[in-house]
Structure 1
Amino acid sequence: MEGRWRGILTALVILAGLTASGSGYQIIEGPKNATVLEGSEARFNCTVSQGWRLIMWALNGTVVLSITPSEPIITNDRFTSASYQEGGNSISEMIIHDVQLRDAGHIKCSLQNSGRDASAFLSVQVMGELLIPGDKLVVTEEEPCNVTCRARGWLPLPGISWDIGVSASHFSYYSIPEPNDPQSTVSVLTLTPQGNGTLTCVATMKELNAHKSVTVNLTVVQPPLANIDKAGTSLPTWAIILLAVSFSLLLILIIVLITIICCCCVSRREKKESSYQSEIRKSASVKTNKETFETNLDSGRENLGYRSDEPRTEKLASFAPVSSESSVQEQHSNRQPYQGPDRRGRGPTGRPQVSFSVASPRTVRNVTLV
């Protein structure tokens, strides 16, 4: 019932304003753009000159507040006003309580019976939830672990940072938006803890310098004995690199030594073979000389003058006087007189007669074959 009466009163004021002369006033300064968080207040000011009769405030084209010189006409409890005087001018302030996301849009201040107005833009940001899964985290000392912080239902997406309240040898973090929810993002913290403490995830609305945080307790436990032994036997990176270089140099040295030894062995073997071949050549030379000497000795015992032709026969016959005694003895033992060959070189039997001499160390004997 009260809202109906307010509507009627607003209509009457507007009609009264239409009949009044208001051509001498104007808007000196209009409202300015504003960005606020959802659930907070938004304030807009409109400065007008003296003589005004009616000021109207509209949100996205709908009049939500009307103000007269005597009192405001309120149709919605979320929209209220305040008035100030400054240098003879009037300042009308519209206050929006419990701003909702649907309130984002154009704000306009206008005067009745005047074609002048001024407008601004209202931006609404939403601060959603911020959570870390689990109230208490238990991790192993000196072992890398991940802690996840999720910001859900934020508009626009906030920037996320971490406050590290634990001793850690290393930590880093990154944030990525969730693909299925444009108003949510996830930040992942990776750290290597060394002691107990707290981790705080902080989400900040950069334009408003507003933030929200959530804290979780981190408990660090000692690793199992097997892992301790394993960790104790591990070497640092610089030691592993030094060992690798040392082994490489040792391998190269061994290869060089093996090469030198092989070269020495081959050289010695070649020297031995050369000496052996020299000895063999000397032995072969001595043996050859000895055989040559023996051959020369044996060659003195052979009759190399044997020929079957007649000139050789005549030559052998010329040596007969040297062995005349032997021939005479043989003639007496055979009791046959000696008959020389005929003109054709044939003996008494008509066969060719061949004569040769046999040399010996003491005597030379002529033998005649018939």
Structure 2
Amino acid sequence: MDSSWKGIPAVLVVLAGLAASGSSYQIIEGPKNATVLEGSEARFNCTVSQGWRLIMWSLNGTVVLSITPTEPIITNDRFTSASYEEGGNSISEMIIHDVQLGDAGIIKCSLQNSDRDASAFLSVQVMGELLIPRGNLVVTEDEPCNVTCCALGWIPLPDISWNIGVLVSQSSHYSGPEPNNLQSAVSVLTLTPQGNGTLTCVANMKGLLAHKSVTVNLTVVQPSMGSIDKPGTSLPTWAIVLLAVSLSLLLILIIILIIIFCCCYISGKEKKESSYQSQIRNSASMKTNKETSEINLKSGSENSAYSPDEPRTAKLASLSPESSESSALEQHRNRQPHQGHDHQRPGPVGRPQVSFIMTSPRTVRNVTLV
């Protein structure tokens, strides 16, 4: 037989005895409202005057515990009692162990043969799971990022806050119920990190000094060079100005290099053409000199009187007596007195006229001897 039915005959007997006695007593102070976490204990007190015979505790209209002056009548092991005396009055305490979500409702304390009862309300809260789905995070320095914290299966939904253990330039967060699950809440933290540290998501129960938290490590890395080209990224103003100035200077430098290259190319081309023309002129000059030398050599070979220096000297020496004689005759002719009529004296008979040509590499001279 179920334990919840064990105490029913005893309760009927006690009620019958109290009805026969006709005693009069009353409830001085009833239980108070309570809010507890699922799985914990809930305690309710009921103070009654002296002379009571039976105290009954009910949950949502069902008697779960009966107490007599001698012993309690337990119908469910999760519901127990304790008794105290205070100022001549009796205090009955009902203890609910391992409170379940279904225990939430009206708790009532009542007395047999009394027109008074007292009631309170039991609220049960459920602390669910709390997690940061991505776990430990690696983010880029000075770039905004989002961190999400989820509270799953909480009744009622908790208040979510953040403890930021990193250096940030700005941060904000938004919390609210998850659209597809009314027993879950989500909080999104947006921050711009500047150093390593920890992020802690804290969920606080409403009306209770109870909370749950989860912590993750945040690692900050330097931005990569290719991140500038990624869509959706933004640069600070100083970086944009610096980039614009750098690009302008680079463009000017490229233009200067192009001008220098063109000048060097044109100058080199002109020098090359000048050198080529000079080579052509030198070649033409050398050809002309060669032709001139060949003509001179040809002319010298056709002159029968031409001979090298040493033979020429010998020939002049052989002709020297005749030359001396000719000079003497010329002087004698000049000393003859002029007659009334002029006539030339014939030269020596039988003396031939000798002529020769004196040449050198550059000069040709005709000499005639009489």
TM bucket by the smaller chain? Answer: 0.5 to 0.7
Query: Normalising to structure 1: TM-score of the pair?
Result: 0.60
Written as runs of structure 1 = structure 2, the 5 A alignment for 1:322-361 is: none
TM-score by length of 2: 0.60
Give ranges in structure 1 of 5+ residues lacking alignment: 244-370
What is aligned with 2:167? Answer: 167
**AA partner of residue 14 (structure 2):** V
**Residues 84, 159 of structure 1: CA spacing in aligned structure 2 closer, same or farther, 3 A cutoff?**
same
Whether contact under 8 Å (2:104, 2:123) holds in the other structure is yes
- Once residues 101 and 232 of structure 1 are traced to their aligned partners in structure 2, the CA distance between those partners, rounded to angstroms, is 50
In structure 1, the residue matched to 2:237 is 235
CA distance in 2, matches of 1:61, 1:189: 46
User: Counterparts of 2:87 and 2:141 in 1: how far apart (Å)?
Assistant: 69
**Structure 1 vs Structure 2: percent identity of aligned residues?**
74
> Aligned partners of 2:189, 2:146: CA distance in 1, in Å?
5
Distance 1:239 1:113, change over 3 A: same
Question: Aligned partners of 2:37, 2:206: CA distance in 1, in Å?
Answer: 12
Matched, 1:79 2:79: yes
Amino acid at match of 1:132: I
Aligned to 2:69: 69
Aligned residue runs from structure 1 range 37-186, under 5 A? 37-186=37-186
- 1:223-282: CA deviations, max 9, x gaps? 113448999985339979xx9xxxxxxxxxxxxxxxxxxxxxxxxxxxxxxxxxxxxxxx
Aligned to 2:19: 18
> What is the rounded CA distance, in whole Å, between the counterparts of 1:232 and 1:32 in structure 2?
58
Cα separation, partners in 2 of 1:165 and 1:30, compared to 1, 3 Å: same
Alpha-carbon distance between aligned partners in 1 of 2:238 and 2:80, rounded to the nearest angstrom: 70
Residue identity matched to 1:31: P
1 CA distance for matches of 2:221 and 2:152? Answer: 31
Q: What is the identity, as a one-letter code, of the residue corresponding to 1:235?
A: T
CA deviation after TM superposition for structure 1 residue 146, in Å: 0.4
In structure 2, the CA distance between the partners of 1:6 and 1:234, relative to structure 1 (3 Å rule), is closer
Q: For residue 180 of structure 1, report the CA deviation from its aligned partner.
A: 1.8
Question: Does structure 2 retain, via aligned residues, the 8 Å contact 1:22–1:114?
Answer: no
Shift in Å, 1:107 = 0.8
1:173, 1:190 within 8 Å by CA — same for their partners in 2?
A: yes
The count of residues paired between Structure 1 and Structure 2 equals 240
- In 2, distance between residues paired with 1:174 and 1:187? 5
Rate the CA distance shift 1:117–1:229 in 2: closer, same or farther, 3 A. closer
Q: Distance in 1 between matches of 2:196 and 2:107?
A: 52
What's 2:344 paired with? none
Whole-Å separation in 2 of the counterparts to 1:232 and 1:66: 72
Greater Cα shift, 180-189 or 204-213: 204-213
In 2, Cα distance between equivalents of 1:99 and 1:177: 26
Counterpart Cα distance in 2 of 1:158 and 1:117: 35
- Correspondence for 2:202: 202
Q: Which moved more, 1:211-220 or 1:83-92?
A: 211-220
2: CA distance between counterparts of 1:105 and 1:119? 10
SS across alignment from 2:182:
coil
